[in-house]
Amino acid sequence: MNNWKKLKLFLRLSWKTVPSYIVLLLVHTLVSGAQVALNVVLPKFLIDELTGGCEVRGLLFFGGLVVGSNLFFAWMERFMKRRMDVQHTYVSQKMEQLLGEKVMSLPYARLEDPYYLDLKERAAFAFLNQEAMLNLITGLAALLQKGSTLFGLTVILLTLSPVLAAVLLVLVGVMVLLQKRLSVELQKIHEMILPINRRYGYYVTLAFSDAIQKDIRLYNMAGMLGDRIDWYNQDMTNTFDTFRRQEGFYMGLYNVINDLQAAISYGYVGLRVVTDWFGRRIGLGSFTMYVNAAVQFSANITEFGQRIVDLQKLLGYLDPFMELMELPEETEVLEGVPFTGPVESIVFEKVDFAYPGSEKKVLDQVSFSVKKGEKIAVVGLNGAGKTTLIKLLCRLYQPCGGRILVNGQDIMSYDYASYMAQLAAVFQDYRLFAFTIEENISCRETGQDRNKVEKLAAQVGLSEKIKELPEGLRTLLGKAYDEEGTELSGGQQQKVAIARALYKDASLIILDEPTSALDPLAEAEIYENFNDLAGGKTAFYISHRMSSSVFCDKILVIEDGRVADFASHEELMKKEDGLYRRMFQAQAGNYV
């Protein structure tokens, strides 16, 4: 993506996210631009009055205008600065929120693809470490301000001498070329730094992560992680060192030209006062104005150049962010007919699947069909493809071949939201949130059906625990954000997750190893009651505890991505050397 395109996308995003802040910035820009121009022009009239007519009224008027306008601008400046400072934090956070919202609306398949995982990390890194977004917005505003000031100053200089203005502009051209060279170098450095930065970001984020802290302590890995961070840090410092040297060279040259510009301006304007070589002599007032204009011109042009380099750098940092924000969202790619439910039938028709970027077929010609209300156990060895099959049914991925029909229609043809509304699932890596238990079960902040929550909590065996809690169902989960919060055991958390799946009025319910953390008694209770709990819903269970499949209508045996069998427990137990019977007996054997 070129810089213009990136800039355009960025402006569109900023406008969409924080329009009031952008307006504020623009007004601020114009006000400070006007201030510079006024301070260049007004003193001329004051000095002309002093050296010419010297009338008290005129002096008071222009003196008052200089002081008054500066007072006004100073007040404006403070007022706007305060407003902007207040909004800065808001803008930063809003941008982070934008990133979060984007990630939540991406097609799920992207999020398991290593390339996009990495992209996401990099996008977040630019945010958190460089405040790149905010700096980009303020940098752009400053650039605009410098640009408009420069325009005003050029107009003033043109009234003195178009030749002087032209010479100054040529010198500006040379300076811009120098800046461009420098930014090409910067781009090269940036490309070198990116992979280092990514690795550095990965290890730093890792050091912060809660998930690794147990392993870090048990295997004493803090030193190793620290070394790795140091290592990449050093690498980055060295790379930047090279760049700084180049920068020194270019900036030196830049400053020489800048000084040359000032010398030419002073010299020329001075000569216009003392000689008439280049035209009519000018007075002291005009001298002040033009010298001021030329000095301001030099100062502003330097900053202008600096800002351009900064912006290019920031745009570079934002590359991954832009790439992420441009990805199509789930709703954009998946529009279709509304699914009115309930689920009446599910048919897998020769479904093939391989994960993106992999050749290996994880599902191979999978065909089976399920009727409304049936309870299906999905059984197979580790890595057979059970979870993948469920992910396809949940539209987290699309089949590579074949179709999945629900109520006779390909699931991909249904409108995404209405299809998802009919599905509830507890995955192995389900997550509860730092909300109250009630909110975690109902997934709603307000308007929950309290009786239903209570009933479900009791059915999954959480009543005892909830009675112990000071706020009952309204107790916050997790101590991280609230001292009053509570930590549940793994098994209790699973019960909450199961209650959540049951609360959702979905006609298809899927439990992927939902009971692995439950103690045997709780597990037996959940399974025995599950048909009651699930009521008339169609259900899939994946479990390694074979005893659970006894309660199911049918068992889908998956072996190496293929359907090995699909029948009831009794029928499958009759198959002497069937995988199911072997698995069942192997586990039962442990208990005998």
Q: Does 366 interact with ligand ADP (rule: CB under 6 A)?
A: no
Task: Pick one of 6, 44, 386, 500: the residue that binds ligand ADP (CB under 6 A).
Answer: 386
- The token pair at 385 is 């493809």
Residue 308 to residues 24, 241, 311, 314, 480, Cα–Cα distance (Å): 21, 21, 5, 10, 43
Largest Cα separation within the chain, whole Å, is 119
In terms of CB distance, is 194 or 327 closer to ligand ADP? 327
Q: How many residues bind ligand ADP (CB under 6 A)?
A: 12
CA 49 – CA 537 distance, rounded (Å)? 92
Helix ranges restricted to H, 161-283: 162-208, 213-218, 222-274
CA 248 – CA 51 distance, rounded (Å)? 45
371 by DSSP, 3-state: which?
strand
In terms of CB distance, is 127 or 368 closer to ligand ADP? 368
State the Rg of the chain over Cα: 35
Amino acid at position 103, single letter: V
In terms of CB distance, is 143 or 542 closer to ligand ADP? 542
Task: Pick one of 91, 143, 318, 362: the residue that binds ligand ADP (CB under 6 A).
Answer: 362
Q: Does 220 interact with ligand ADP (rule: CB under 6 A)?
A: no
Sorted by sequence, the CB contacts under 8 Å of residue 268 that are 6+ apart come out as: 161, 164, 278
Question: C-alpha angle with apex 52: 49 to 58, nearest 5 degrees?
Answer: 30
CB of 560 to ligand ADP, least distance (A): 9
- Sign, CA torsion 307/310/316/318: negative
Stretch of 130-138, 177-185, 381-389, 562-570 lying at the interface with ligand ADP (CB under 6 A): 381-389
Task: Pick one of 112, 230, 484, 519: the residue that binds ligand ADP (CB under 6 A).
Answer: 112
486 by DSSP, 3-state: which?
strand
Task: Pick one of 384, 404, 498, 552: the residue that binds ligand ADP (CB under 6 A).
Answer: 384
Task: Pick one of 383, 520, 535, 536: the residue that binds ligand ADP (CB under 6 A).
Answer: 383
Task: Pick one of 358, 446, 451, 590: the residue that binds ligand ADP (CB under 6 A).
Answer: 358
CB of 519 to ligand ADP, least distance (A): 23
Q: Is 410 exposed, middle or buried (CB count within 10 Å of its CB: 0-12, 13-18, 19+)?
A: middle
In terms of CB distance, is 386 or 537 closer to ligand ADP? 386
In terms of CB distance, is 338 or 383 closer to ligand ADP? 383
In terms of CB distance, is 37 or 376 closer to ligand ADP? 376
411 DSSP 8-state letter: G
Q: Does 359 interact with ligand ADP (rule: CB under 6 A)?
A: no
CB of 112 to ligand ADP, least distance (A): 4
In terms of CB distance, is 65 or 396 closer to ligand ADP? 396
Q: Does 191 interact with ligand ADP (rule: CB under 6 A)?
A: no
Task: Pick one of 107, 305, 320, 380: the residue that binds ligand ADP (CB under 6 A).
Answer: 380
In terms of CB distance, is 357 or 447 closer to ligand ADP? 357
Give backbone dihedrals phi and psi of 8, rounded to 5 degrees, phi first.
-65, -45
Instruction: Characterize the bridge pairing of strands 554-559 and 375-379.
Output: parallel
In terms of CB distance, is 244 or 582 closer to ligand ADP? 582
Which of positions 338-357 make contact with ligand ADP (CB under 6 A)?
Answer: 355
In terms of CB distance, is 74 or 117 closer to ligand ADP? 117
DSSP letters along 505-563, please? --SEEEEESTTTTS-HHHHHHHHHHHHHHHTT-EEEEE-S-GGGGGGSSEEEEEETTEE
CB of 389 to ligand ADP, least distance (A): 7
Give the residues lining the site for ligand ADP (CB under 6 A): 112, 355, 358, 362, 380, 382-388
